Structure 1
Amino acid sequence: MLKKGKGWRIGWQEKPDIYKGLIGADDWALELSAPEMEDFCRLLAQIRDTMDSMAEHLMEEETISCEVESPLLWLGADGYVNNYRLRIILHQHRGAEGSWQSHAIPELIKAAQSLKSF
């Protein structure tokens, strides 16, 4: 199953032994193991929840940076609480990095929530 939109893509496939997940944007993609995909979806939801909860504490013109991390990967958001850029860095045995522009984030979050129940 591959879901994609303007500036994002995310996928899941049960059959492969190691890399079952895929995340990416228009010009890059990373294959993820099942634990990496689980962490990505969990941390993405944490970023969303944190940014949503900060909305009541910040003035409209204020920006924020938010980082969440697991032993497998790091996610960071920069921008306004309802309009932010997202970056990912994989930690483990392979170094990889990617980012999504703000317009892609809402649909990426929705797709990640419906992709697979971990």
Structure 2
Amino acid sequence: MRYHYKKPDIYLSMYGKLYICNHPVYDRCTLFTIGDKGLAVIQQRFNPDTKTTYWTEVDSWLTDSLYLHPKFKKFFDERAGECTDGLYPTVSIRQIMWALKMKPIQRQRWETCFDRRNI
């Protein structure tokens, strides 16, 4: 039995697009849009050379699984919003996977989380 979401051998990334912006936490994210509303999703990365973490777009092998999930539309409608000053409402990959009741990706020791709902 799998406890964590595993990267599939074959995948296609048709949904979500890379969005570059000027957010205080990140400068690149995966943006899902429906009509005028959008939802930015970010994932934390680790740089072993400098031993620092940073937030960036979601792995491409996760985007279709998120967008095609049966509960995604409801989550999107609750959390998405229109662009304000070039920024969309944002969630982390863990927040959305938890809300959709998906198996989470493996957690790393260096990962941090947000205490609040809005990023």
Superposition TM-score tier, normalisation by shorter sequence: under 0.3
TM value normalised by structure 2: 0.27
Where relative contact order (Cα < 8 A, 6+ residues apart) is larger, the structure is: 2
More helix by share: 1
